[in-house]
Amino acid sequence: MPSLGADMEVGTILQWLVKPGDAVKRGDIVAVVDTEKATIEIEVFQSGVIDRIVVPEGEQVPVGTLIAVIRTDGEVAAPPAPVAVPTPPAPAAPPVAAPKPMEKPTVPAVSAAPPHRLRISPLAMRVAVDLKVDLSKVKGTGPDGAITKADVERAAKAAKEAPAVEALAAIAPAVAKAPPARPAAAIDHHVAMRRVIAASMARSKREIPHYYLATHVDMSRAMAWLQSENLKLPIANRALYSVLLLKSVALAVRDFPEMNGYWIDNSFRHSDAVHVGVAISLRKGGLIAPAIHDVDKKPLGEIMANLRDLVKRVRAETLRSSEIADATITVTSLGEQGVETVFGIIYPPQVALVGFGKIVERPWASNGMIGARPVMMATLAADHRASDGHRGGLFLAAIDRFLQEPEKL
């Protein structure tokens, strides 16, 4: 059962879209899973043939449970060999490849090794068994990304010092402590989601030493430019100013790597890819923040299309697992709700959340002249373990700077 978010603890297989013997390739949707937040399609990250289905439809299992086995080329159909990972609750040779939110999903996991083999030194393996470290959470720093003894020891130390952080990790054996699985497939989403949000946000507030910064941004250039651009487009393709905000954040974060990534195992892990989580409120209440991938590399039109698609699918409850799982920074905009300032709570294990308020006309002094300008409050909630206020301030200023040159976005 893949983790589809840091706060997901159990999942229910609603439907299998494949059967044993089917060939699957990386990116295929193989199952639909009901989580406490949404119904999510499970995609696979390795190609091969479905060897067997382990968890039947209707059954709820903790994250990390083997739900199916994919046989890769050359492998003989056989039961999965859980020898690769010593701790029993952890997924062995990963089943329907569990996405690991801690790793950059755009990078092929470990290219050289067969996908089901953990790339780990013999010594690290032995130490992991001794220290009972869940290897699926350990990021390798050895040759070709192999897990070394130091990696395992680091993970073990982190797990000891901050068990809660471990619990936040994706495929967590700690899930065993999750609420007992309920037999019924049906879930009261509203109640469940509130519970998940409660757990996640409480954890965030409890563990993340937030600091908050705010700055006013003159939005006149951005709005004027957007207006003129939109005039050239059919109505269906016109962009919302939110897209400018997302792109500005994504570009600014390139120069502030400490804002983009995860705090895990007591250390910060930077992500090269910029996947911006977009907080989207649900009609029935509740909130979800799926990611738009590689925002820093996409033109505005594509980001807009992504955003539109995302909102639609959030409301239709057909999100993909990777979209749920791998935001590296989150943007929340409550401007539409008339709010001027947002001080957000970081979505763990991310380390920063950028908030945007309503654009309002304000008197604005510039070059000794006072005029009326559209002004927006940009805020930053950041994890003080990963960054400091000085850098946070520069980060906000960078976002401002990008918004002053919208044509370059």
Among the candidate windows 119-127, 183-191, 227-235, 335-343, which touches other proteins by CB under 8 A? Answer: 119-127
237 binds other proteins (CB under 8 A): no
Among the candidate windows 17-25, 107-115, 137-145, 268-276, which touches other proteins by CB under 8 A? Answer: 137-145
Give the count of residues interacting with other proteins (CB under 8 A).
13
**Cα 343–Cα 346–Cα 352 angle in degrees, nearest 5:** 90
112 binds other proteins (CB under 8 A): no
Options 29, 146, 178, 185; binder of other proteins; rule CB under 8 A: 146
State the catalytic residue, choosing from 294, 388, 390, 400.
Answer: 388
Choice between 146 and 394, CB closer to other proteins: 146
Choice between 149 and 315, CB closer to other proteins: 149
125 binds other proteins (CB under 8 A): yes
Among the candidate windows 47-55, 124-132, 326-334, 358-366, which touches other proteins by CB under 8 A? Answer: 124-132
Choice between 141 and 228, CB closer to other proteins: 141
Contact 315, 290 (CB under 8 A): no
Choice between 149 and 385, CB closer to other proteins: 149
142 binds other proteins (CB under 8 A): yes
156 binds other proteins (CB under 8 A): no
Minimum distance from residue 150 beta carbon to other proteins (Å): 8
In the residue annotation, 400 being an active-site residue is answered as no
State how far the Cα of 189 lies from the Cα of 146, in Å rounded to an integer.
40
Choice between 157 and 216, CB closer to other proteins: 157
Q: Is the dihedral of CA 315, 347, 375, 221 positive or negative?
A: negative
Cβ neighbours for 189, distance < 8 A, ≥ 6 positions apart: 36, 37, 38, 284, 286
Among the candidate windows 30-38, 41-49, 116-124, 296-304, which touches other proteins by CB under 8 A? Answer: 116-124
199 binds other proteins (CB under 8 A): no
Contact 382, 346 (CB under 8 A): yes
143 binds other proteins (CB under 8 A): yes
Contact 159, 136 (CB under 8 A): no
State the catalytic residue, choosing from 188, 255, 272, 384.
Answer: 384
Minimum distance from residue 125 beta carbon to other proteins (Å): 7
In the residue annotation, 326 being an active-site residue is answered as no
270 binds other proteins (CB under 8 A): no
State how far the Cα of 282 lies from the Cα of 353, in Å rounded to an integer.
19
Place of tokens 């068994």: 129
State how far the Cα of 288 lies from the Cα of 280, in Å rounded to an integer.
5
Instruction: Catalog residues that contact other proteins under the rule CB under 8 A.
Output: 121-126, 141-143, 146, 148-150
Residues with catalytic function: 384, 388
